[in-house]
Amino acid sequence: MSAALQDTLSFLIHTIGGLYIMVVLIRFILQLVRADFYNPLSQFVVKATNPLLIPLRRLIPGVGGVDIASLALALLLQLALVYLLFALKGMTPPLGFALVNSLYELINTVLNLYLWSLIIIAIASWVAPGSYHPALMLLHQITEPLSSRVRRVIPPIGGLDLSLMAIVLIIISLQKILPAVFQALLG
């Protein structure tokens, strides 16, 4: 296989696999925050993840209202993606490396989901305040539990909500620290 074809195939597999894993993580987050199940985007997420998630739920039950099967599915898919991408290069990563890499990717994906959700909410509040678009409603439902906790510490000042900015700064800081933490785990 030529290098260009291998790179293109790796890119496609990484992108499609990463997007599906993101949808699985979104399902976990939606259930965690108890978002509106009847939102059209929620329905898409449920229908896209049910084929793999329903059989896994028979093996892995939820704990305390937390859908552990979604997290397990995301981790299994990320592990499979790591092994598949390495196999395209003709290599096999050690299990420890693949597991640490997968955990890093999942945490980074969740951080990116929240980061972009907050940025979209901030921009939408300037461009279309009070909009009731299903996507915006879902983003508000996802970020509100976190935003409300930060608002208790940093209350709105003169009508300006600084909690979103604080959360964005925390997420960016975590994304800067995270690679060093996982590098230390790998030794």
Task: Tell me the DSSP string of 60-100.
Answer: S--BTTB-HHHHHHHHHHHHHHHHHHHHHTT----HHHHHH
Distance CA 54, CA 134 (A): 25
Distance CA 35, CA 142 (A): 7
Q: Name the band, by pLDDT with cuts 50, 70 and 90, for residue 106.
A: very high
Residue 112's pLDDT is 97
Distance CA 187, CA 164 (A): 35
Distance CA 129, CA 144 (A): 16
Look at residue 39 and tell me whether its pLDDT is greater than 80. Answer: yes
66 DSSP 8-state letter? B
Residue 186's pLDDT is 79
pTM for the model stands at 0.92
Q: Name the band, by pLDDT with cuts 50, 70 and 90, for residue 156.
A: confident
E-strand ranges in 101-180 read none
Residue 184's pLDDT is 87
Answer whether 69's CB lies under 8 Å from 55's CB: no
Look at residue 103 and tell me whether its pLDDT is greater than 90. Answer: yes
